[in-house]
Homo-oligomer: A and B are copies of this chain.
Amino acid sequence: MSRLILALDVLEREKAIDIAKKTAPYLHAIKVGWPLVMNAGMEIVREISQFSRVICDFKVADIPNTTRLIVRSAKKYGASGIIVHSFVGRDSVRAAVEEAGEMDVFVVTEMSHPGALDFMQKHAEEMVKIARDEGARGIIAPATRPERLREIRKIAGELLILSPGVGAQGGKARDAIEAGADYIIVGRSIYNAENPALAAKELTEEIMGLENQ
């Protein structure tokens, strides 16, 4: 069972579908964000969901009512998961989890860019606790700071940890898995590869190898 998630950060519908189809056999899920949806419409979520789990990386950061509407729409189009922020507060995370039903909610607790140190990192532990208390399925925490990942793992309880930042951003799959990540999110190293399917296959096998050590 693959522990690899593809961040499908391309803009063109055809390219997205092509890469998604080729790589899906080697993936746990495909993560789709706003730029692709703005360009290709929410139908892209439905199309990809025919052959892969789709996690909508919408980083929802709104009041509870709007959060519900966004979650409901993602679900309607066949997403298996959605990513929300908890910085906007406990009630918005609760609204997302309630509305999601069977769909998974993942909560952002840390991010990999420099600006994440301005406000977010100060509150990462509190945000993990909100995710845990409100029944989210997991959290998003970057592989680029494995020492932070290790701290977060300690308080995350049953929450899954999904780690972006492996590959082009400098994070190592090995470090993230060892620090407690459950799934590795990889983008450019797969979708920009000459052979995306092969890149996904090799990465998945590498992660499986780490598990068996």
Given contact pairs A33-B66, A69-B35, A119 touches B111 in the complex (Cβ within 8 A) = no
**Closest chain B residue to A34 by CB distance?**
B70
Stretch of A87-95, A150-158, A203-211 at the chain-chain interface: A87-95
Q: Are A113 and B92 in contact (CB under 8 A)?
A: yes
Given contact pairs A118-B90, A120-B89, A61 touches B59 in the complex (Cβ within 8 A) = yes
Q: Are B119 and A91 in contact (CB under 8 A)?
A: no
Copy total for this chain = 2
Q: How far is the CB of A39 from chain B (nearest CB, A)?
A: 7
**Closest chain B residue to A72 by CB distance?**
B35
- Chain B residues with CB below 8 A from A98, complex form: none
Which of B59, B89, B119, B130 meets A117, CB within 8 Å? B89
Q: How far is the CB of A32 from chain B (nearest CB, A)?
A: 12
**Closest chain B residue to A123 by CB distance?**
B119
Q: Are B123 and A64 in contact (CB under 8 A)?
A: no
State the A residues within 8 Å of B (CB). Answer: 9, 11, 33-35, 37-39, 41-42, 58-64, 66, 69-70, 73-74, 77, 85, 87-93, 111-120, 123, 126-127, 130
